[in-house]
Structure 1
Amino acid sequence: MADIQYEEDPEPSERFPAGPLYVPVRPGPAAACAARLFRTPLGDRTAVGFTSSRQLAATLGPDQPWIRLAEPALRALTAPLGVTNVTVDPQFAAPAPTPIEPVVPVPALRIG
């Protein structure tokens, strides 16, 4: 039986695994690397993969380290952390917020 597709449905009913992905990583313990996790616009955690190193560099910068993983392997890697979403080829990444220096109140001068 075939799944029914509706015009207003933006995603297919079944998930199809993406091919090998370029997955951004960060240094981890004992000289290993760990997959970087990101947030969706709604604040949910998601793993991210890119279909080309060029797209990864355009989004996250040319110095971003990466590894190649298949989508099922990326899902298996992040599932124990409670991350079930995988975003493929995100178009925008905002820079991490920089800490704001606390404002120190200046005592008022009394003229008198």
Structure 2
Amino acid sequence: MACVVWHVPVTTTGTGSTAALRLFRMRNGVRCAVGFSSPEALAALLGPDQAYTELGEAALRNLTRPLGVDTLVLDPGLVAPPVTAPAAVGVTPGAAPTPAPAPTARLQHR
């Protein structure tokens, strides 16, 4: 029986010598690990610069179980609401639009 390879997102140190699994949360708040069936699927959702490692499902389960993560998701889809473009502020015909004020809140990856 062949082992199916999952492409699993990781974070790396500045030197690239150490990698850690990236964990996510489902809509209901449950922590989960994700894997992708191909590097292209991973890049389509997380961007072309996302580092990843190749693991079998059993290896991924063995790495996440001690962390209390029992849910694995293969090829997840984006579940965030769509982003809408901000309305132009102070637009004068023939003039360049005034940029909207910079956001004050910063999001953190957990």
- Structure number with larger C-alpha Rg: 1
1:100 counterpart letter in structure 2: A
Note closer, same or farther for the CA distance 1:93–1:23 as it changes in structure 2 (3 Å cut): farther
**Alignment counterpart, residue 24 of structure 1, candidates 9, 13, 16:** 9
Indicate the RMSD between aligned Cα atoms, in angstroms: 2.3
Structure 2 spans left out of the alignment, 5+ residues: 81-102
Structure 1 spans left out of the alignment, 5+ residues: 1-17, 102-112
Q: Residue 59 of structure 1 contacts residue 93 of structure 1 at CA under 8 Å; is this kept in 2?
A: no
SS in 1 for 2:48: coil
SS in 1 for 2:73: strand
Displacement of 1:93 in angstroms is: 5.6
Aligned length, in residue pairs: 81
Query: Matches of residues 42-61 of structure 1 in structure 2 within 5 Å?
Result: 42-61=28-47
Note closer, same or farther for the CA distance 1:41–1:33 as it changes in structure 2 (3 Å cut): same
Identity, in percent, stands at 46
Q: In the alignment, is residue 100 of structure 1 matched against residue 105 of structure 2?
A: yes
**Cα shift readout 1:50-90 (whole Å, capped 9, x = no counterpart):** 00111000010000000000011001001110001000000
